[in-house]
Amino acid sequence: MNQTLTITAITASGRAYDIDFPLHPESRSAAGVGALVTDLLDCLSRSLATRQDVSDGDVMQALAMTLAVRARMLGASPETTSGLVQELFQTAYAAARAATPYVSGRA
C-alpha cells in the first residue's frame, strides 16, 4: 500500500486545505518529501511577500521551469522523465483538487 503525506496549506486570506498526497511507490522518505514541500512553500511565501510585480501565472511559470530543470538534471531519457513528471503532477493535482477548503483558525 502506498503512503500518503498530509500537507496543510493556508492561504494569505486564511483559507486552509488539508491535502492528502499519495506518495510515489519509490519515494524514499515521506518526512523528506514533506520537509521539501514545506521549505519550498515557505521560500515562495518569503519571496512573494516583498514583490508586487509577480502574478500567480508568473509563479506557476517559474515552478514549471524549476521542475523542468530538475527533471533534466536526472539524466534519464526524455520519455522516462516526461512520463514521471506528468504522473507526479497529475497525482498531486488530483489530491489538491480533492481537498475541501475551510477557514483557518490562526490569528
Model confidence band, residue 104 (pLDDT cutoffs 50, 70, 90): confident
pTM above 0.75, yes or no: yes
pLDDT for 26-49, tens place per residue?
999 999 999 999 999 999 999 999
pLDDT for the residue numbered 95: 98
Average pLDDT over residues 74-88: 95
- In 23-104, the DSSP E strands lie at 102-103
How far is the first Cα of the chain from the last one, in angstroms, to the nearest whole number? 38
